[in-house]
């Protein structure tokens, strides 16, 4: 069955995570994604490990399925001409070189859109193409620090902490896929492509959502709250008799339902805990008393009791627990793809469940230059290319 983006060709000149994540999403939806690297492979994630499987890094496999790979020396006149020929028939080009690099090679939006006015051209940089920081490279860790994300993670004791996944890259990849799909729809109306200027910094700021709104409304600088919620209580991690569990009470009705399960009924009648704003103001005392109650039962017992009351909860799971959980299996959240030289690769599957145009897993993560020489308009390897690495942003 054709995918939603069947017939769309994407030139993927991006590296590491944000861009490759976006193009994998497009590939899962049916787009023909051509991954373009320097000879020998210039995507750093190919070499980030361990773990590796037969020489292929786990990091690289996470975001590079459903792509074909060719190698081109973008610093050579021959390589630049190859990209121009490919761009003439492409629908989308995405890259994450530093601001100005593609223009220096004659491969900027203005140059390529003259060859193909329908081309959608997506630039991903650390700080965008305008502003005082535009020339700088951007990596997720730096963006988490500068965007305020680290300042709200951790506790007063730990100090600022980053999120364990490179979330600003993930946000940017998602925003890129959304923007490209919107531009494809717009092209149906106008007949023209357009340029998309995406910054990791901007996407990280946008993803602060309610935390940023709290500051803009109140002027109060948020502090790290660990596992607490800045606007809701009780909404935290508690210690059951056999391990940690998250209980997320969203309103006064749910709070009273929770209190009906407690041995200490005075918690529910305490005037300090009758409304959410009051519970937030007295969260430390509330959590102390709740922890005394939660440790009386196991996580499974609490899950059953709280589910009966309609109160959201869930155990803090390790990844081995996650991937053997029946819900993970029921939602088909792993998939095995087969590579002729690397062997079977187990990957996280796409979360997109489309009834009429489902995602598909057609190609495993490619070796560098694996598809050089395949027949396509403007497609050729670069025989005179020298191994070269290009500056890129994560």
Active-site amino acid positions = 169
| Among candidate residues 215, 212, 217, the one with its CA nearest the CA of residue 202 | 212
Burial class (CB in 10 A: 0-12, 13-18, 19+), 235: buried
| Phi-psi domain of 389 (left: phi exceeds 0; alpha: psi -120 through 50; beta: other) | beta
199, 249 Cβ separation under 8 angstroms? no
Distance CA 137, CA 152 (A): 24
115, 84 Cβ separation under 8 angstroms? yes
DSSP-H helix ranges across the chain: 18-28, 58-61, 77-89, 101-104, 109-115, 140-146, 167-190, 200-206, 209-218, 252-259, 266-269, 276-281, 283-294, 299-308, 319-323, 326-330
Which residues, listed in sequence order, are joined to residue 196 by a DSSP beta bridge?
Answer: 122
Task: Report the C-alpha dihedral over residues 167, 171, 173, 176, rounded to 10 degrees.
Answer: -160
Burial class (CB in 10 A: 0-12, 13-18, 19+), 229: middle
Rg of the chain in Å (alpha carbons): 25
Distance CA 53, CA 236 (A): 38
57, 51 Cβ separation under 8 angstroms? yes
């Amino acid at each position: 069955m054709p995918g939603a983006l069947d017939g769309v060709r994407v030139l993927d000149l991006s590296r590491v995570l944000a861009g490759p994540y976006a193009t994998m999403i497009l590939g899962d939806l049916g787009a023909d994604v051509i991954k373009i690297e320097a000879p020998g492979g210039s995507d750093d994630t190919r070499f980030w490990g361990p773990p590796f499987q037969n020489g292929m890094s786990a990091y690289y496999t996470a975001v590079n399925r459903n792509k074909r790979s060719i190698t081109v020396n973008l610093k050579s006149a021959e390589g630049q001409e190859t990209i121009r020929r490919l761009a003439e028939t492409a629908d989308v080009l995405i890259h994450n070189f530093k601001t100005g690099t593609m223009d220096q090679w004659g491969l900027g939006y203005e140059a390529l859109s003259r060859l193909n006015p329908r081309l959608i051209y997506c630039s991903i940089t650390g700080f965008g193409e305008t502003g005082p920081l535009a020339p700088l490279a951007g990596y997720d860790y730096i963006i988490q620090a500068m965007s305020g994300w680290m300042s709200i993670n951790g506790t007063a004791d730990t100090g600022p902490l980053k999120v364990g996944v490179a979330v600003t890259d993930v946000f940017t990849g998602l925003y890129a896929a959304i923007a490209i799909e919107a531009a494809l729809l717009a092209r149906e109306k106008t007949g023209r492509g357009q340029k998309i200027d995406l910054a990791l910094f901007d996407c990280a700021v946008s993803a602060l959502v309610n935390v940023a709104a709290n500051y803009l409304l109140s002027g109060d600088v948020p502090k790290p709250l660990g596992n607490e919620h800045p606007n809701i209580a009780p909404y935290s991690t508690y210690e059951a008799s056999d391990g940690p569990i998250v209980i997320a009470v969203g309103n006064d009705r749910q709070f009273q339902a929770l209190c009906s399960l407690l041995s200490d009924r005075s918690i529910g009648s305490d005037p300090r805990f009758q409304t959410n704003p009051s519970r937030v103001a007295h969260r430390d005392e509330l959590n102390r008393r709740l922890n005394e109650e939660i440790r009386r039962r196991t996580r499974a017992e609490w899950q059953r009791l709280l589910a009966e009351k309609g109160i959201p909860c869930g155990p803090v799971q390790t990844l081995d627990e996650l991937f053997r959980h029946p819900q993970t299996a029921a939602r088909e959240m792993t998939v095995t793809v087969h590579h002729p030289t690397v062997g079977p690769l187990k990957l996280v599957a796409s979360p997109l469940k489309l009834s009429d145009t489902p995602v598909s897993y057609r190609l495993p993560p490619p070796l560098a230059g694996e598809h050089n020489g395949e027949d396509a308009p403007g497609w050729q390897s670069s025989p005179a290319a020298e191994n070269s690495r290009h500056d890129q942003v994560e």
